[in-house]
Amino acid sequence: MGVTKTNLYSEEHNSQAELFKALGHPARLKIVNYLLRVNSCICGDIVSEVKLAQPTITRHLKVLKEADIIKGSIEGNQVCYCINSESFRVLKEIITIMAEEVSGIDGTCC
């Protein structure tokens, strides 16, 4: 979706799309799954877990943080990241609504 076309959609749809877009890469999904499993970590742990170069991990962390999927805090020269549970509450709500709507579709339309 081009940047100039986002104005055609509601602010709610655009923010929801940003959440899904940020999760739309396997490395970012692996980072999120790791953070869910350990509940917080430092950036070095993420590099060893995901097995990508530090600059690549940093770029993925930036995308996740900009989408508000993760939170980060600086402690000395380390940056600690954790899951933003509010974003996952929103994602769960979106998926639940879609799942409820699709349950009423019989699948014979195509």
51-91 pLDDT tens trace:
999 899 989 999 999 999 999 887 777 788 999 999 999 99
2, pLDDT greater than 80: no
What's the topology of domain 10-95? Arc Repressor Mutant, subunit A (1.10.10)
Query: SS3 of 63, please?
Result: helix
The residue ranges of every structural domain in the chain are 10-95
**Burial of 60 per CB tally in 10 Å (0-12, 13-18, 19+):** buried
Mean pLDDT estimate for the chain: 87
Q: Which helix (H) or strand (E) holds 64?
A: helix 54-66
User: What is residue 102's predicted lDDT score, i.e. its pLDDT?
Assistant: 87
Q: Which residues contact 80 (CB under 8 A, 6 or more apart)?
A: 40, 41, 42, 72, 73, 74
pLDDT band at 3 (very low <50, low <70, confident <90, very high): low
